[in-house]
Amino acid sequence: MLPKGCYVALVTPMDTKNDIQWSVLIDLINWHIQAGTQGLVILGTTGEAPTITARERARIIEDSVTHVDGRIPVIVGAGTNSTHTTCEQIQEAALLGADACLLTTPYYNRPTQNGLYNHFYEASRVTKTPLLLYNIPARTGVDLEPYTVERLAERPTIIGIKEATGDLKRLKAIQKRVSSDFLLLSGDDSTAYDFMRAGGDGVISVIANIVPEHTLNLCTAALLDDPTSAAKILDTMTPLLKILSAETNPIPIKQALYLLDKIGSGLRLPLTPLSPEYQQTLRDVMGRLGLLNTEKSFAYANDN
């Protein structure tokens, strides 16, 4: 069983030529383990999975699993809009030692609820590795309804869901239909605290890429019902959350990590660098929070 708490939706670091920075990936993993992050989610939306090659994908999984060495769970994004391909990616991740897989709803072809059920049912048949459903209709164009989640929760390998609608009524609807050990993780940083206060088990977080300790502390405050501590953390994080939603994820979070000197400036098309009108705001917010210790130019906008 995966633990409750704070998971990071890890970026895939790239240099100015958009080649993956393999040693930097290990540095990021070390940083999160030291910060207390309770799990890594690799090759998701934030990790630019759609533009990662098959060879790169295998190495990212292998390097991450090998380096983590069982210290925290490694969850691999394996969802596609092809059931066959999804099953293949699950099997690859399992073979390479992943602790679990995260499966988004099929995008673009937009199946019915019956189609969604059968897609995830087939995925659950090919592995004993735990699977997390992932509902993010704003990106996929299809919504995994609570009654479908209820049916899928009966499968022994389907152990939870990343629910990214930001709708707390949706959380309550799912809670009523699944067992207490079915893991309910927020996929929306802006509502994650309220999600956990309402009975959710944690968050798969984008903002944890740059403030892992703050995100962990917020999760702890929510799960321990400590609103005083949570309010202080939210005061710090809210300006960051706002600017990090200015453009499509992972554009702003990779810019922020670049400003922190944590990663290179690479970002693969069709994603493009953060627009100039948001760059100064991001820098100002990070500066006010004491995250920037040195001056750094905005070469990111021009060096690709």
Which residues are identified as catalytic? Answer: 134, 162
The rounded distance, in Å, linking the Cα atoms of 255 and 281 is 12
The rounded distance, in Å, linking the Cα atoms of 120 and 124 is 6
Helical spans, DSSP H, in the chain? 22-35, 54-68, 83-95, 113-125, 137-140, 146-152, 168-175, 192-197, 212-223, 227-244, 251-259, 276-288
Structure tokens at 180: 């207490």
Q: Name the 3-class secondary structure at 180.
A: coil
Q: Which helix (H) or strand (E) holds 124?
A: helix 113-125
**Amino acid present at 118:** N
Q: Is 204 left (phi over 0), alpha (psi -120 to 50) or beta?
A: beta
State the DSSP string of 218-264: HHHHHHTT-HHHHHHHHHHHHHHHHHHTSSSTTHHHHHHHHHTTSS-
